[in-house]
Amino acid sequence: MKILDIQGYSLSSEFGNKSYLGYLNNNKLKNIGVIEIVTNKKIIGYGETYSGVYAGELIKPIIDFLKINIVNKKLENIEDIKKINSKILSKPFISRNGIIPSVYSAVNIALYDALSQYKEIPLYKLLSKTSAKKVKIYASNGSSTFSPREIREDINKILDLGFNSFKMRIGHQEWGQDLKRVETARAILENKNLMLDAIMGTIYPPWDYAKAEKKLKQINKFNPLWIEEPLIPNDYYGYQRLNRKYPIAGGEALNNLSDYRIYKEFNCVDYIQPDVTNVGGFDVLKMIAQLFRKKKIAIHVWGSKIAFLANLHYCLSSSVNFLEYPMMHLNIDKEIIKESLKIKGDYIYPPDEPGLGVHISSAVKRKYKIKKMSNYIL
């Protein structure tokens, strides 16, 4: 099999279940950065990049720049993918940080998707000879805009679906209100898992160490399983100090192996949260997981079902503690996945479709053509 072309583009979709997510600044869209690998066997591989959420307009020019290293290359085994990896991820100055390795994540996912379709097996079986029978997931929602009443309604819906682990966002509202929201969540969940995401990789201005330490001291009484991103991602010393006292999670914003090595060396987190759509793809994620094999791994997801399926296939091929399951669903999701997700309570089961299990038709591309989006939903 040979690669004939690679295309990069972005789509925009509205949220399909508005009762699950609060909106900021009337922003009801999410951008999705997509990569397509087109082969001479009429197989198309798909991938998604996390950077598409923030900079969708940059996907196409980056792919046009990388195309010379990908088009006309052979794609018949994993070694062919690793040869392409080495060409892209070794480029000096541009490939070790920032948006290019994030965009290349989607390229790597699309390569594995195309190859596993060619071999007529689900993608996770290409990643590993052994696989998990199921993966533990947690419900991720609890918008930072929600009131205590909305948090109560949110959790009740999630409990009705059989989930026993729930993540909510904090840090956007007045702190006294945030404490009431978390107190409400803990009361409803009782002894079930409560995760708190301070989203300081997104909110500006973020907390500094002193502010974070004060807030975490107050909120720790609610016994969260973890407190996520209480500082900006590269405050290594701050994370190190907080993690000595509190259960810290983080890592979704890191997109190179060197930063993950620093997190490990500084003991920044109890739960590491890489995302295959941001770190450089499956091969880099495998190296990160090996680096943190003695820690807890909670795989991050915050994109379309392309991103979720890519991370799910990795989890099925490896050993992880949690996979994030965003309760916000995009209208586009139901039009691009080939097979319904098999979820029962806190677990999701392996898909049967060859490859990733995604197809994006020309009609879907036209329907969800990118729209300018300046704000991000928290």
- pLDDT per residue as tens digits for the range 96-132: 778 899 999 999 999 999 999 999 999 999 999 999 9
Q: Torsion over CA of 190, 195, 196 and 201, rounded to 10 degrees?
A: -170
- Domain identity same for 52 and 187: no
Domain-terminating residue out of 63, 94, 120 = 120
**Residue 355: inside a domain:** yes
- Domain identity same for 114 and 150: no
62 pLDDT higher than 60: yes
pLDDT tens across 351-369, in order? 999 999 999 999 999 999 9
Range 299-311 average pLDDT? 96
Look at residue 332 and give its three-state secondary structure: coil
What is the CATH classification number for the domain harbouring 140? 3.20.20.120
Number of domains, the chain:
2
**Residue 57: inside a domain:** yes
**Residue 44: inside a domain:** yes
Q: Report in angstroms the alpha-carbon separations of 79 from 69, 82, 88, 168, 263.
A: 15, 5, 14, 41, 29
**Size of the chain, expressed as the number of residues it contains:** 378
What is the CATH classification number for the domain harbouring 36? 3.30.390.10
Whether 170 and 182 have beta carbons less than 8 Å apart is answered as: yes
- Domain identity same for 173 and 97: no
24 pLDDT higher than 70: no
Look at residue 300 and give its three-state secondary structure: coil
Domain-terminating residue out of 120, 155, 190 = 120
377 pLDDT higher than 50: no
- Domain identity same for 97 and 130: no
Helix, strand, coil % in the chain, rounded to nearest 5: 40, 20, 40
**Residue 376: inside a domain:** no
Range 156-185 average pLDDT? 96
- Domain identity same for 106 and 130: no
- Domain identity same for 205 and 243: yes
Look at residue 288 and give its three-state secondary structure: helix
- Domain identity same for 101 and 201: no
pLDDT tens across 211-247, in order? 999 999 999 999 999 999 999 999 999 999 999 999 9
> Whose structure tokens read 């296939």?
313
19 pLDDT higher than 80: no
Residue 156 φ then ψ, to 5°: -60, -40
Q: What is the spatial distance between Cα 140 and Cα 184, in angstroms, rounded to a whole number?
A: 16
pLDDT band at 26 (very low <50, low <70, confident <90, very high): low
- Domain identity same for 249 and 303: yes
23 pLDDT higher than 80: no
Q: What is the mean pLDDT of the chain?
A: 93
pLDDT band at 372 (very low <50, low <70, confident <90, very high): low
Q: Say what the pLDDT of residue 92 is.
A: 79
- Between 89 and 135, where is the model more confident? 135
Whether 352 and 345 have beta carbons less than 8 Å apart is answered as: no
Whether 251 and 274 have beta carbons less than 8 Å apart is answered as: yes
- Domain identity same for 90 and 142: no
**Residue 165: inside a domain:** yes
- Domain identity same for 269 and 172: yes
**Residue 75: inside a domain:** yes
- Both tokens of residue 168? 């909510």
141 pLDDT higher than 60: yes
> Whose structure tokens read 């097996």?
121
- Domain identity same for 131 and 107: no
DSSP E strand boundaries for 286-371: 296-299, 322-326, 342-344, 347-349
Nearest to 81 by CA among 37, 43, 130, 129: 37
- Domain identity same for 277 and 303: yes
**Residue 184: inside a domain:** yes
Domain-terminating residue out of 120, 152, 185 = 120
Q: What is the spatial distance between Cα 186 and Cα 180, in angstroms, rounded to a whole number?
A: 10
Q: What is the spatial distance between Cα 191 and Cα 362, in angstroms, rounded to a whole number?
A: 47
Greatest C-alpha distance within the chain: 59
Q: Say what the pLDDT of residue 98 is.
A: 83
Q: Say what the pLDDT of residue 46 is.
A: 98
296 pLDDT higher than 90: yes
pLDDT band at 198 (very low <50, low <70, confident <90, very high): very high
Residue 323 φ then ψ, to 5°: -125, 130
The parent domain of residue 95 ranges over: 3-120
Q: Which residues of 157-176 are buried (b: 16+ CB within 10 A; e: fewer)?
A: bbeeeebebbbbbbbbbeee
Range 23-44 average pLDDT? 84
The radius of gyration computed from the CA coordinates of the chain, to the nearest angstrom, equals 20
Find out whether the peptide bond into 205 is cis, omega within 30 degrees of 0.
Answer: yes
For 109, the enclosing helix (H) or strand (E) is helix 99-118
**Residue 256: inside a domain:** yes
Range 42-61 average pLDDT? 91
Dump the DSSP string for 150-169.
HHHHHHHHHHHTT--EEEEE
- Between 376 and 318, where is the model more confident? 318
pLDDT band at 278 (very low <50, low <70, confident <90, very high): very high
pTM over 0.85? The answer is yes
Q: What is the spatial distance between Cα 214 and Cα 231, in angstroms, rounded to a whole number?
A: 13
Dump the DSSP string for 180-207.
HHHHHHHHHHTTSEEEEE--TTTSSSPP
